[in-house]
Structure 1
């Protein structure tokens, strides 16, 4: 199996730089990954976060596409419950027109923030909490591909600027809840193992393909597996750098919210943890792909075979922006 390497970027607020620099660092990393031959570069959506700095992926997608040449650029993803399917279609159709053959539109069901931000994004209406996600996803696909049913009141709407350029449509999932819907509607599927590795298994892709075939879609869809990955020259250094992301995830589970800690601060915290907290930390770390380039690539290939998936995207969160750049550079150089 020839595996393609891609990127999902959450635009972390690195402790090595100011918060205002985070979007610029995402663009810098995208340019590096373009030059290194990565296949795809996606940006995520988060609201009211101390850790992640991108609430509007459509703006970063447009910015990245304008300063790169070869890499596909997209959203991983737009949290569709907050938005009008028509407006999302218009934004991404425009980008597909400006950058033909390079734009992806990935959507997700999760809110990407707190309940308070969901209320503010929906104002003056009430938030949907994903209740209409299936209907919105179907409408979005109809606007993008011109396939709205004949009895739709929106059938006559022309999604400007033209009917031909279209982004590649993807749906995001982490534990299988969206797999059947993606297959039924004809979306490609990106499986976010980095969110919930304990419940992310190959059966999700199998269920997805079953629904795809049942719906009568032609050909084979694209599948992507997204994993948490930190690569360094030595395994010891990689595990140390991974501490920042691992502790953030543990802290979120414990209801804590603070800026990213340095690797040294994480080690200090680890030594003062209870045995159960240390066990929880170690469990999270085991769900990451961490090590030397050779170790990481071996695990990436194993995961690709296990999930029968020829594209693996890495999510790399570190305290230092340079450490993140190093991780992507090392992977590409040894791939």
Structure 2
């Protein structure tokens, strides 16, 4: 199988650099991945986070697209419940105009932050907590593709004077809740296995494809699986580097919030854990793709076969920016 390898970048706040450097480091990594031959580079959206430094993906998408040559650039994703579908369409169609055939618009239902930030983003109105997501996604597709029905009160709106340039539309999900909606509306689909590997199964893609066909869409939709991946020269080093991300996920489940720990600090915490917490840590690590380039690619190929997709996107979070760059360099040797 000829697998396309892509990137989802959460713009982690690396402990190896000043916190203010995080967005710049995302751009630096994007330029490297463009040179290395990765297919897409997506940026995530998070609010009020001490770990991830991108609350406005449209700005980073525009910046990265202007500083790269070949790679597709997009959002993974815009948290649509906070925004006007028209404004999102305007932003991404403008970028598609300036960077033809290179812009992706991925949207998601999750808030990407706390309940307090959802209230602040909705002010002076009340947040709808995703209750209108299906309607918003339908309107967004209509604005992007110019397909709003004539009886829609907004059907006469011109998003741009020339409405032809379009971003590629994607819908994000982690456990299948959005698969049917994505297929019905004609979105491509990206499954975030890195969020919930226990509930991310190939049957989600099957349900999506069935809805796509039932809706009568033409062509073949794109399917992407996004995985957590840390690659190093040795399996031992890869597992050590992965500890930063694994412990953050463990700590979040326990209601703890602190800056990324170094790999050695994580090992100290692990050694002091109860047996049950160690087992939980090990379970989280098992859901990651971790090891040497050959080990990582072996698992990537197995996942692509199991899920029936030809594109895998990698999410790599490490304490050191050097380690993250190194992981992507090593993985690219098999491209």
What's the TM-score bracket when you normalise by the shorter of the two chains? over 0.9
Once residues 162 and 295 of structure 2 are traced to their aligned partners in structure 1, the CA distance between those partners, rounded to angstroms, is 47
Once residues 254 and 312 of structure 1 are traced to their aligned partners in structure 2, the CA distance between those partners, rounded to angstroms, is 30
1:143-182 paired onto structure 2 within 5 Å:
143-182=143-182
TM-aligned CA distance change 1:20 to 1:310, over 3 Å? same
Once residues 284 and 333 of structure 2 are traced to their aligned partners in structure 1, the CA distance between those partners, rounded to angstroms, is 27
- Residue number in structure 1 paired with 2:110: 110
Once residues 158 and 60 of structure 1 are traced to their aligned partners in structure 2, the CA distance between those partners, rounded to angstroms, is 25
- Residue number in structure 1 paired with 2:11: 11
Once residues 273 and 80 of structure 1 are traced to their aligned partners in structure 2, the CA distance between those partners, rounded to angstroms, is 39
- Residue number in structure 2 paired with 1:66: 66
Deviations 1:71-96 (A, max 9, x none): 00000000000000000000000000
Once residues 129 and 2 of structure 1 are traced to their aligned partners in structure 2, the CA distance between those partners, rounded to angstroms, is 39
Alpha-carbon deviation of 1:334? Answer: 2.8
SS at match of 2:171: strand
1:178-257 paired onto structure 2 within 5 Å:
178-257=178-257
Residues 93 and 161 of structure 1 are in contact (CA less than 8 Å); yes or no, is this contact kept in structure 2?
no
1:13-28 paired onto structure 2 within 5 Å:
13-28=13-28
- Residue number in structure 1 paired with 2:260: 260
Count residues with an aligned counterpart. Answer: 335
Once residues 265 and 334 of structure 1 are traced to their aligned partners in structure 2, the CA distance between those partners, rounded to angstroms, is 32
Q: Does 1:128 align with 2:134?
A: no
Once residues 211 and 45 of structure 1 are traced to their aligned partners in structure 2, the CA distance between those partners, rounded to angstroms, is 27
Once residues 262 and 128 of structure 2 are traced to their aligned partners in structure 1, the CA distance between those partners, rounded to angstroms, is 37
Alpha-carbon deviation of 1:222? Answer: 0.2
Once residues 161 and 206 of structure 1 are traced to their aligned partners in structure 2, the CA distance between those partners, rounded to angstroms, is 38
Deviations 1:32-55 (A, max 9, x none): 000000000000000000000000
SS at match of 1:75: strand
Once residues 334 and 132 of structure 1 are traced to their aligned partners in structure 2, the CA distance between those partners, rounded to angstroms, is 42
Once residues 55 and 128 of structure 1 are traced to their aligned partners in structure 2, the CA distance between those partners, rounded to angstroms, is 19
Residues 75 and 107 of structure 1 are in contact (CA less than 8 Å); yes or no, is this contact kept in structure 2?
yes
Alpha-carbon deviation of 1:333? Answer: 1.3
Once residues 128 and 102 of structure 1 are traced to their aligned partners in structure 2, the CA distance between those partners, rounded to angstroms, is 32
Once residues 308 and 199 of structure 1 are traced to their aligned partners in structure 2, the CA distance between those partners, rounded to angstroms, is 17
Once residues 331 and 193 of structure 1 are traced to their aligned partners in structure 2, the CA distance between those partners, rounded to angstroms, is 18
Structure 1 length as normaliser, TM-score?
Answer: 1.00
SS at match of 2:333: helix
Deviations 1:168-188 (A, max 9, x none): 000000000000000000000
SS at match of 2:309: coil
SS at match of 1:184: helix
Runs of 4+ in 1 over 6 A off after TM superposition: none
Once residues 4 and 159 of structure 1 are traced to their aligned partners in structure 2, the CA distance between those partners, rounded to angstroms, is 32
CA RMSD of aligned residues (A): 0.5
For structure 1, the 5+ residue unaligned runs are: none
For structure 2, the 5+ residue unaligned runs are: none
Alpha-carbon deviation of 1:332? Answer: 0.3
Structure 2 length as normaliser, TM-score?
Answer: 1.00
- Residue number in structure 2 paired with 1:279: 279
